[in-house]
Structure 1
Amino acid sequence: MTKKAQILFILFTISAIGVSLAQEKLLNKGNEKYEEYSFRPAIDIYKRVLDKEFVSADLLKKLGNSYYFNSDYKEAAEIFQKLVTEFPNDVAPEDYFKYAQTLKTLGDYEDSNKVMSQFTALTTSDARASAFKEERDYLAEIKTNSGRYDITSFEYNTVYSEFAPAFYKDGLIFSSDRDTGNFARYRHTWNAKDFLDLYKVNSDSVSMNVVTKFGEDINTRLHESASVVTKDGETLYFTRNNFVEGKYVKDEKGIIRLKIFRARMIDGIWGEIEELPFNNDGYSVANPVLSPDEKILYFTSDMPGTYGLSDIFMVAINDDGTFSTPENLGANINTEARETFPFVTNNEILYFSSDGHPGLGGLDIFATKIKRKDFNGKVLNVGEPINSRRDDFTFIFNELSKEGYMASNREGGIGEDDIYKFLEKEPLVFECVQQVTGTVRDKISNNVLVGATVKVINENNEEILSDITNSEGNYSLVLDCNQGNFVRALMEGYVPFEEYIGVSDGKPKIIDFYLERDIITAGFGDDLAKLLQLSTIYFDFNKYNIRQDSEVEVEKVIAAMEKYPSLKIQVNSHTDSRGLAAYNLLLSQKRAEATINYMISKGIGSGRLASKGYGETKLINDCYDGINCSSQKHDLNRRSEFIISE
Structure 2
Amino acid sequence: MGIQQKLYCTNQLKWFIALILFASTGSAYGQDKLVKSADHKFKSRNYEKAIELYEEAYPHNPGSYKIIKKLALANDRIGNSGEAEKWMSKLFEIGRVVSHDYYMYSMILLHNGKCLEANEYLNKYEGLKPGDKKIPKAKEEIEYIRNLLKDSSAFNIAPASINTSGSELGTCYLDNGVVFSSTSIGDKKADARLASNNLPFLDLFFAKEPEAGQLVDPKPFAYKIKTEYNDGPVAYDPVEGLLYVTRFAPQKAGADEAKDVFHLQLIVAEKKSGTWDFKDFFFLNSPNYSVAHASVSADGQVIYFVSDMPGGYGGYDIYFCYKKKDGEWSNPYNVGPVVNTRKNELFPFIASDGLLYFASKGHRGLGGYDIYVASPANGVFNSVRNVGYPINSTKDDVAFTLDSTSARGYFSTNRVNNNGYYDIFSLELNFIPITIKGVVKEADSKEVIPGVVIEILDQDGKNIGDATSREDGSFSCLINKIPEITLVAKSDSHESLKKAIDLSSLKPNEELILEVFLYKKQVLLIK
TM-score normalised by the shorter chain: which range applies? 0.5 to 0.7
Q: What is the letter of the counterpart of residue 385 of structure 2?
A: L
1:307 to partner: Cα distance: 4.9
Q: Which amino acid aligns with 2:431?
A: E
Query: Of 241, 244, 253, which residue of structure 1 is paired with 2:248?
Result: 241
Structure 1 residues 353, 199: CA separation in 2 closer, same or farther (over 3 Å shift)?
Answer: same
1:198 has 2:212 as partner: no
Shift, 1:135, TM fit: 9.2
Aligned to 1:629: none
**Aligned pair partner of 2:432 in 427, 430, 436:** 427
Tell me the SS of whatever aligns to 2:392.
coil
Output one character per residue of 1:175-226: Cα deviation in whole Å (capped at 9) or x when no partner: 111144699999xx9658641111111289xxx9421112113322221222
Match for 1:426: what amino acid?
A: F
Which residue among 303, 309, 330 is the counterpart of 2:336? 330
Structure 2 residue runs of 5 or longer lacking an equivalent are 1-14, 441-471, 477-509, 512-527
**Amino acid of the structure 2 residue aligned with 1:384:** Y
Judged with a 3 Å threshold, the aligned counterparts in structure 2 of structure 1 residues 77 and 86 are, in CA distance, closer, same or farther, namely same
Q: What is the CA-CA distance between 1:14 and the residue it aligns to?
A: 9.2
Q: How does 1:430-469 map to 2 (within 5 A)?
A: none
- Amino acid in the other structure paired with 2:56: R
| Matching residue's letter, 2:350 | V
Q: 1 CA distance for matches of 2:23 and 2:148?
A: 65
Conserved 8 A contact 1:344-1:350: yes
Q: Is the contact made by 1:262 and 1:276 (CA closer than 8 Å) also made in structure 2?
A: yes
Indicate whether 1:77 and 2:85 are aligned: yes
**1:52-89, Cα deviation, whole Å (9 max, x unpaired):** 65847995576224541xxx321033456789985767
Query: Counterpart of 1:217?
Result: 224
Q: CA deviation at 1:384?
A: 3.4
Q: Which amino acid letter does the alignment assign opposite residue 247 of structure 2?
A: R
Distance in 2 separating the partners of 1:321 and 1:170: 28
Q: Is the 8 A contact 2:253 2:260 kept in 1?
A: no
**Residues 568-615 of structure 1: per-residue CA shift (max 9 Å, x gap):** xxxxxxxxxxxxxxxxxxxxxxxxxxxxxxxxxxxxxxxxxxxxxxxx
2:464 matched to which residue of 1? Answer: none
**Structure 1 position 28, deviation (Å):** 4.4
> Given the two structures, how large is their TM-score scaled by the length of structure 1?
0.50
1:63 to 64, 69, 74: 74
Distance across 2 between alignment mates of 1:101 and 1:301: 31
Cα contact 1:157–1:415 (8 A) shared by 2: no
The equivalent residue for 2:392 is: 387
Mark the CA change 1:14 to 1:412 in structure 2 (over 3 Å): closer, same or farther: closer
- Give how far 1:369 is off: 0.9
Q: How does 1:4-43 map to 2 (within 5 A)?
A: 20=32, 23-25=35-37, 28=40, 34=45, 40=48, 43=51
1:417 maps to what in 2? 422
Shift in Å, 1:339: 3.4
2:152 aligns to what? 146
Distance in 1, Cα, partners of 2:114 & 2:227: 42
SS in 2 for 1:366: strand
Cα distance in 2 for residues equivalent to 1:409 and 1:422: 16
Structure holding more strand per residue: 2
Distance across 2 between alignment mates of 1:279 and 1:45: 40
Give the Å deviation of 1:408: 2.4
* 1:173, distance to aligned residue in structure 2 (A): 0.7
1:49–1:255: structure 2 CA closer, same or farther, 3 Å change rule? farther
- 1:366-405 matched pairs, under 5 angstroms: 366-377=372-383, 379-400=384-405, 402-405=407-410
CA contact (8 A) 1:160 1:181 kept: no
Q: Which amino acid aligns with 1:392?
A: D
Structure 2 counterpart SS, 1:77: helix
Contact 2:181 2:204 in 1 (8 A): yes
Question: Computing the radius of gyration over CA atoms, which structure comes out larger, 1 or 2?
Answer: 1
Amino acid at match of 1:393: V
Could you tell me the percent identity over the aligned residues? 27
Please say if residues 161 and 183 of structure 1, whose CA atoms lie closer than 8 Å, have aligned partners that are also in contact.
no
**Alignment correspondent of 2:487:** none
Offset at 1:10?
11
Gap change, CA 1:12 and 1:28, over 3 Å in 2? same
Aligned-pair RMSD on alpha carbons? 5.4
- 1:347 counterpart = 2:353: yes
Moved more, 219-228 or 58-67: 58-67
Is the alpha carbon distance of 1:135 and 1:158 closer, same or farther for their aligned partners in structure 2, counting shifts above 3 Å? closer
Provide the residue aligned with 1:287 in structure 2: 293
Mapped partners of 2:73, 2:286: distance in 1: 26
Measured after TM superposition, the shift of residue 300 of structure 1 is 3.5
Q: Which deviations, in whole Å up to 9, do the C-alpha atoms of 1:32-55 show, x marking residues without a partner?
A: 6x56xxx65564345335566584
* In structure 2, C-alpha distance between the alignment counterparts of 1:262 and 1:203, rounded to whole Å: 26
- What displacement does 1:396 show? 0.8
Q: For the residues of structure 2 that align with 1:381 and 1:28, how far apart are their CA atoms?
A: 38
For residues 301 and 255 of structure 2, the distance between their equivalents in structure 1, rounded to whole angstroms, comes to 31
Structure 2: distance between partners of 1:60 and 1:412: 19
Render the CA deviation track for 1:383-437: whole Å, top value 9, x for unaligned.
33333444332111125272211222334999943222222221156x9x99899
Whole-angstrom distance in 2 between the partners of 1:9 and 1:415:
44
C-alpha contact (below 8 Å) 1:242/1:258 kept by paired residues:
yes
**2:518 counterpart residue number:** none
Contact 1:198/1:225 (8 A) holds in 2:
yes
- Alignment map for 1:253-332 (pairs within 5 Å): 257-265=262-270, 267=272, 268-272=274-278, 275-276=281-282, 278-279=284-285, 284-304=290-310, 307=313, 310-316=316-322, 318=324, 319=326, 321-322=328-329, 324-327=331-334, 329-332=335-338
Q: Aligned to 1:150, what secondary structure does the other structure show?
A: strand
1:226 match: 233
Paired residues of 1:148 and 1:427 also in contact (CA < 8 A): yes
Rate the CA distance shift 1:330–1:408 in 2: closer, same or farther, 3 A.
same
The Cα of 1:140 is off from its aligned counterpart by 3.7
- Letter in structure 2 aligned against 1:64: N
Q: Give per-residue Cα distances to partners, 1:293-334, cap 9 Å, x unaligned.
A: 43433233455555565443434455554552452x334333
1:47 aligns with 2:55: yes
Classify 1:312/1:31 alpha carbon distance in 2 versus 1 (closer, same or farther; 3 Å).
Answer: farther
Q: Evaluate the alpha carbon distance shift between residue 265 and residue 152 of structure 1 in structure 2; reply closer, same or farther with a 3 A threshold.
A: same
For the residue of structure 2 that corresponds to 1:370, the secondary structure is strand
Distance 1:153 1:391 in 2: 15
C-alpha separation between the residues in 2 aligned to 1:254 and 1:115?
Answer: 46
Distance (Å, rounded) in 1 between the aligned partners of 2:122 and 2:289: 31
User: What is the match of residue 177 of structure 2?
Assistant: 171
* C-alpha spacing 1:28/1:153, structure 2 compared with 1 (3 Å): same
Q: What is the identity, as a one-letter code, of the residue corresponding to 1:398?
A: D
Q: Distance in 1 between matches of 2:99 and 2:386?
A: 32
Deviation sequence 1:126-163 (CA, Å, 0-9, x none): xxx989849945634664x8101233332322232222
Give, as a single letter, the amino acid of the residue that structure 2 aligns with 1:221. E
1:151-166 equivalent positions in 2, closer than 5 A: 151-166=157-172
1:231-253 CA-to-partner distances (Å, cap 9, x unmatched) read 14642222222336xx8999979
- Please state whether the residue corresponding to 1:210 is helix, strand or coil: strand
| Structure 2 CA distance for aligned equivalents of residues 46 and 335 of structure 1 | 34
Q: Distance in 2 between matches of 1:56 and 1:253?
A: 35
